[in-house]
């Protein structure tokens, strides 16, 4: 009696990460995800976490107050969505929280978060983190100029203006589209007293999402700053 032995070769399936890298797009639960955008969002999140941790570690050594600010304002946006649609809004309803850390007498690093509502506090919502570098040509409102080991001179200005460059991420619930990109801005601060100030800021953002769709956003906001020692 002859015995026949059959050998079966199992086909090796590609690793999910490798498949994502090779094909660019994968379909999960009916939702198409752009690989490049997902990787960029992951890198952006890690980048923001790194700078936030770095700023916290530098706080005890910088010797300057941390500026905690809350703002409210209006915005105008024009966006294309990943499914080919468009989104246009001109509304009052942008809310921001941030903390600014002094790097030098003319530079500050700002870390914050922004919310957008289509109807002041209800309706469609957009949100995302902010990372800004602020430059003050005439110096910030307050800073310490050390003369020697025992004496320091504290300079207090009544107002100062600044320019900013930023890195942002935005996501809107109605379109389920995420955007990331850069911004340019200009603003001014007015000192109320030693621990409080007012600010206003105009910022333009150009962000990119999946399949190279773009979001153009202009944000005009004002608010109050608290100097936290």
**Per-residue DSSP letters for 41-68?**
HHHHHHHHHHHHHHHHHHHHHH-S-EEE
| Domain layout of the chain by residue ranges | 16-228
CATH number of 16-228: 2.40.160.20
The per-residue pLDDT for 226 is: 93
- The model carries a pTM of 0.68
Query: Is residue 192 within 8 Å of 159, Cβ to Cβ?
Result: no
Q: Give the residue from 196, 186, 70 showing the smallest Cα distance to 141.
A: 196
pLDDT over 90 percentage in the chain: 34
Query: Is residue 72 within 8 Å of 94, Cβ to Cβ?
Result: yes
Q: What is the pLDDT of residues 67-118, one digit of tens each?
A: 999 999 999 988 877 677 777 888 899 999 999 988 888 899 999 999 988 8
Cα separation of 192 and 226, whole Å? Answer: 10
pLDDT over 70 percentage in the chain: 65
Cα separation of 40 and 37, whole Å? Answer: 5
Q: What is the pLDDT of residues 104-144, one digit of tens each?
A: 888 999 999 999 888 877 777 889 999 999 999 988 876 55
The per-residue pLDDT for 205 is: 94
Residue with tokens 């003319």: 106
The per-residue pLDDT for 5 is: 52
* pLDDT of 34 higher than 70: no
Average pLDDT over the chain, rounded to whole?
Answer: 76
């Amino acid at each position: 009696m002859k015995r026949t032995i059959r050998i079966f070769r199992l086909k090796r399936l590609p690793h999910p990460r490798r498949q994502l890298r090779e094909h660019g797009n994968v379909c999960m639960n009916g939702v198409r995800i752009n690989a490049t955008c997902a990787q960029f969002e992951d890198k952006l999140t890690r980048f923001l976490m790194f700078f936030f941790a770095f700023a916290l570690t530098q706080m005890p050594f910088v010797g300057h107050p941390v500026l905690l600010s809350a703002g409210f304002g209006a915005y105008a946006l024009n966006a294309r969505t990943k499914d080919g649609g468009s989104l246009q809004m001109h509304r009052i309803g942008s809310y921001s929280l941030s903390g600014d850390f002094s790097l030098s007498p003319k530079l500050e690093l700002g870390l914050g978060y922004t919310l957008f509502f289509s109807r002041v506090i209800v309706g469609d919502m957009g949100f995302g983190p902010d990372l800004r570098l602020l430059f003050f040509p005439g110096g910030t409102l307050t800073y310490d100029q050390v003369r020697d080991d025992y004496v320091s001179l504290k300079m207090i200005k009544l107002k100062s203006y600044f320019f900013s460059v930023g890195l942002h991420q935005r996501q809107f619930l109605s379109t389920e589209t995420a955007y990331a990109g850069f911004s340019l801005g200009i603003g001014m601060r007015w000192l109320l007293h030693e621990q409080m100030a007012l600010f206003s800021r105009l910022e333009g953002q150009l962000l990119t999402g999946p399949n190279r769709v773009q979001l153009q956003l202009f944000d005009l906001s004002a608010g109050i700053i608290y100097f936290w020692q």
